[in-house]
Structure 1
Amino acid sequence: MKVEAHSQSLKGLTYLVTGSTDGIGQHTAINLAKAGGNLIIHGRSQQRVDASCKRVREAAAGGWVKGFTYDLSCMQSVQGFAAAVRQDVPTLNVLLNNAGVFEQRMSKTGEGFEMVWAVNVMAPFLLTSLLLDLVTDRIVNVSSISAGSSIDFSNLQQEKGFSSHGSYSLSKLAMMAFTAKLAKRLPRDGPTANCLDPGTVNTKMLEAGWGMCGMPVALADGETFLATDPSVKGTSGEYFNGSRLGAMRGEARKTKVQDRLWSVLEQQTGAVWP
Structure 2
Amino acid sequence: MHKSILITGSTDGIGKLTALKLAKEGHKIYIHGRSEDKVNLVVSDIKQASNNENIKGYVADFSNLKAVKQLADLINKEIPSLDILINNAGIFKTPVSKTDAGLDIRMSVNYLAPYLLTENILPVLEKGNHTRIVNLSSAAQSTVKKGILTGDVSINASDSYAQSKLALTMWSFHFAQQHSNITTIAVNPGSLLNTKMAKEAYGQHWSPAEKGVNILFDLATSDAYQDATGKYFDNDKGETIGHFATAHPDAYDRDKILMLEAMTNEVLSDLGE
Identity of aligned residues (%): 31
Q: How does 1:107-118 map to 2 (within 5 A)?
A: 107-118=97-108
2:6 aligned residue (16, 30, 38):
16
Q: What's the offset of the Cα at 1:226? A: 1.1
Contact preservation (8 Å) 2:12, 2:196: no
Are the counterparts in 2 of residues 138 and 227 from structure 1 also a CA contact under 8 Å? yes
RMSD: 1.8
* Equivalent residue number for residue 191 of structure 1: 182
Equivalent residues, number: 258
Q: Distance in 2 between matches of 1:68 and 1:116?
A: 21
Structure 1 segments of 4+ aligned residues over 6 angstroms from their partners: none
Partner of residue 224, structure 2 = 231
- Residues 42-94 of structure 1, C-alpha deviations (whole Å, 9 max, x = no match): 00001110111112212335460000111111111011111111221100001
For structure 2, the 5+ residue unaligned runs are 236-241
Question: Distance between the aligned counterparts of 1:48 and 1:64, measured in 2?
Answer: 18
Q: State the 1:156 CA deviation.
A: 2.9
Structure 2 counterpart of 1:44, from 16, 34, 54: 34
TM-score by length of 1: 0.88
1:95–1:163: structure 2 CA closer, same or farther, 3 Å change rule?
same
Instruction: Name structure 1 gaps, 5 residues minimum.
Output: 1-9
- Residues 171-192 of structure 1 show CA distances to partners (whole Å, capped at 9, x for unaligned) of 11111101011111013xx111
TM superposition shift of 1:101: 0.5
Q: 1:166-177 to 2 correspondence within 5 Å?
A: 166-177=159-170
| Distance apart, 1:123 and its partner CA | 0.2
Q: Distance in 2 between matches of 1:57 and 1:90?
A: 21
Residue 238 of structure 2 is matched in structure 1 by none
Deviation at 1:107, TM superposition (A): 2.1
Task: Give the TM-score of the pair, scaled to structure 2.
Answer: 0.89
Q: Is 1:265–2:264 an aligned residue pair?
A: yes
| More helix per residue | 2
CA distance in 1, matches of 2:268, 2:49: 36
